[in-house]
Structure 1
Amino acid sequence: MTPGARVQAAIEILDEILTGQAVEKTLTNWARRSRFAGSKDRAAVRDHVYQALRCRRSYAVLGGSETGRGLMLGACKDQGLDPAALFHGEGHAPSALSAAEQSIAPEFHSDAERHDIPEWLWPVFSRSLGTEAIAAATALRSRAAVHLRVNLLKGDRDNAIERLTREGIATEPHPASPTALTVTEGARRIKNAESYLQGFVELQDAASQAVVDKLPVQNAPRILDYCSGGGGKALAIAAQTQAEVCAHDADPRRMRDIPERAMRAGADIRCLTSEELVTQAPFDLVLCDAPCSGSGSWRRDPEGKWRLTQDTLDDTVALQARILDEAAQRVAPGGVLAFATCSMLDVENSQQTQRFQERHTGWAHLSETAWHVHSGTDGFYVSVFRRNGTE
């Protein structure tokens, strides 16, 4: 495919997504019906689509319309490219620019529009991040780096770097965690690399790893990852301790990959149903990685940014509080409860910590830490409490 043909494909895919179609499903359907597209073509089209979604509001202004064509025209302008070099109608490229498109005079009407945040969310976003709000919003407009976690059960960081180098994957240490690596070259090779397939490394954001570093895992004989999902944090915990590590999720289907991932990593993780959880509690450490807005990972999932509404955020905040209260009941006297989100919004983070303390006596607040996207990781938050030993 020519560069122009890739842009036209992205336009058509974006038009479907803008009608409400799911991003991944739309991309998959396009790839299935476009057998002529090679792997590099599919990757390039995918990159076009995701970047346009990250910058949906500003690209619409720059391109004159919130359509696939408008977004891709806006992308050209934002990236300093000459649109006429791609919009010319030859070789399956988009049709040539109209006189109206050539005369667009973009004007941003708000900071939210300029920095690609939903208008209703900007007050919460800017309050949550203060003077760092624009830096965070700007970072969300770019593709996230690929991070790996070194599996300490199979080797150290230097060994992992050497193994990956031999497989054509260049990495460097990330300062957020002693186990974190940033991939600087060869990211698309990771899932076929022996280092990954044999469990020497796992894909995991550096801040997600840093959350685990904040937990007193060495002092907890029995540990529960309460909202485990695919088990990334449970695996990270198991690599750092000889403790009994259990995983639980309200939807057991989310845990279906944990046994295979644990076997690959050489870890021992027990997945518990809700019924089993009742008999296995209490635990010395419970990590509650709660459902959230995902605002800290919108670079990877820009669709989530535009689907979020005030109502869904309110519902999510209420759900987090209920889950946190439930998780607290699983903690043994003298044990530790950790509440984490991949969010940068105060209503999901510091305010949840404050409200938990207001609802519950007999807990000491030990620490809280936040990571933001403009510091080179996903946005994450963790708050750690210790239960009174007499309860």
Structure 2
Amino acid sequence: MTPAARVQAAIEILDRVQAGEAAEKALTSWGRRARFAGSKDRAAIRDHVFDVLRMWRSTAALGGGETGRARMIGLFRAHGQDPAELFTGQGHAPMAMTDVEVAAGDAPDGAAALDLPDWLAARFAEDLGERTHETAEALRTRAPVFVRANLLKTDREKARARLAEEGVETVPHALAETALEVTSGARGLIRTDSFTDGWIELQDAASQAVVEMIPLGDATRILDYCAGGGGKSLALAARVPKAELFAHDADPGRMSDLPKRALRAGATVTCVAKPKGVYDIVMADVPCSGSGAWRRAPEGKWRLTEARLAELTDIQAHILTTCAKLVRPGGALVYATCSLLRAENEAQIDAFLASHSDWRIGPNRRFLPSDGGDGFYAACLIAPD
């Protein structure tokens, strides 16, 4: 496919997203119909679609409309490119721009310039203060790719050297001692021997930093209560290989790949349907808005509502109360989200401590996308002896 044909495909997919279809579904449906498209074509089209999703409001303003075509015109303008170079009408290219389209479009302002819904822009300003603009700006760009050096098999420098031999260039990242940011060769990562042999795992740098900040001490029983795919379970196993590590999720299907991943990593993780007894450490990376990871899943920015946020905060409070009962005296409950919003972070900890006055707060930190990784929040809550 030509670059212009890829733009036309992205336009068609974006029109389906505008009509309410999920982006992944729209991309998959297009891919099934377009058997002629190669892997590079599909990757380029996906990049176009997700670039627009990150900048949904500003591309509409710059393009002068809310169609996929207008937003792609706006995307090119945002990047300082003349869309007319690809909108030629030749072959499978989008039809040539009309005089109206050439004249249309305005610089976005306010919440549109931040690429946030109005109500979320107000929340960001209240919660993030002077860091609002840099945070919103970071969410408008593609996320870096990170890997974690698996300490059960190697260290960061050895993993970096091996990846370089396989054509993947990386640099150490300051957020975590195991973090490597991939600077080239990211699309081939999972085909490397480094990945196949379990030397590395794909994991955001801030997510790795959350695990590093947990005061594990001499913990022998650890529970990852909201394990999902198990990334943090594996990172915990690498830090304390002699501890018993258990993984639980309300939807066990999310953990379906964890046994295979653990085997590759050389880790021992036991998946449990119902946690039993008490644990030295309970990790709860709770369901949340995902606002800290909207670079990776930008649709969430536009689909989140105030009502859904209220539902999520109720779920989070319930999980905190449930997990507190699973922590041994003197143990730690680690609450984490990939959210930027105070309602899901500091406000939850304040409410928990208000109703559990004998608990105390230990290490805690808010990570912002402008720090390099995804947005995360983590707080270690220490149980009474």
TM-score, normalized by length of structure 1?
0.97
Residue 378 of structure 2 corresponds to residue 382 of structure 1: yes
**Conserved 8 A contact 2:214-2:363:** no
Q: Distance in 2 between matches of 1:27 and 1:197?
A: 28
Please give the per-residue CA displacement for 1:290-339, whole angstroms capped at 9, x wherever unaligned. Answer: 00000000000001111101100111011100111101111011111110
In structure 2, the residue matched to 1:347 is: 343
Residue 23 of structure 2: aligned partner: 23
Q: CA RMSD in A?
A: 0.9
1:291 has 2:291 as partner: no
Q: Deviations over 1:150-181 (max 9, x none)?
A: 00000111110111111100011010000000
Is 1:356 the equivalent of 2:352? yes
Higher mean C-alpha deviation, range 25-34 or range 57-66: 25-34
Question: Number of residue pairs matched?
Answer: 384
1: distance between equivalents of 2:165 and 2:280? 41
1:312 to 301, 308, 311: 308
CA contact (8 A) 2:368 2:376 kept: yes
Paired position in structure 2 for 1:76:
76
Report how far residue 105 of structure 1 moved: 4.2
Give the whole-Å Cα distance in 2 for the aligned partners of 1:25 and 1:198.
32
After superposition, residues 120-159 of structure 1 pair within 5 angstroms as 120-159=119-158
**CA–CA separation in structure 2 for the residues paired with 1:111 and 1:281:** 52
In the TM superposition, residue 367 of structure 1 has moved relative to its aligned partner by: 2.4
Q: Is the 1:371–1:381 contact (alpha carbons within 8 Å) kept by the matching residues of 2?
A: yes
SS where residue 143 of structure 1 aligns? coil
Deviation at 1:216, TM superposition (A): 1.5
Deviation at 1:192, TM superposition (A): 1.1
Partner of residue 367 from structure 1, selected from 356, 363, 369:
363
* Counterparts in 2 of 1:105 and 1:13: CA distance versus 1, 3 Å: closer
Which shows bigger deviation, 96-105 or 311-320? 96-105
Secondary structure at the residue paired with 2:35?
coil
Matched residue SS, 2:49 = helix
Q: How does 1:87-236 map to 2 (within 5 A)?
A: 87-108=87-108, 110-236=109-235
For the residue of structure 1 that corresponds to 2:217, the secondary structure is helix
Q: Which runs of 5+ in 1 are unaligned?
A: none
Task: Name 1:45's counterpart in structure 2.
Answer: 45
In 1: Cα distance, 2:264 partner to 2:73 partner = 45
* C-alpha displacement of 1:362: 1.3
Aligned mates of 2:141, 2:207 — CA distance in 1: 19
Whether 1:249 aligns to 2:249 is yes
One-letter identity of the residue aligned with 1:127: E
**TM-score, normalised via structure 2 length:** 0.98
The one-character-per-residue Cα deviations of 1:128-159 (angstroms, maximum 9, x if unpaired) are 11100000000100000000000000011111
Task: State the shift of 1:115 in Å.
Answer: 1.1
**Which 4+ stretches in 1 moved above 2 angstroms?**
none
Gaps of 5+ in 2: none
Question: Partner of 1:209: helix, strand, or coil?
Answer: helix
User: Can you list the C-alpha shifts for 1:18-37, whole angstroms capped at 9, x where unaligned?
Assistant: 11112112112211211211
Superimposed CA distance per residue, residues 197-247 of structure 1 (whole angstroms, 9 cap, x where no aligned partner): 111100000000000001122321110001000110010000010211101
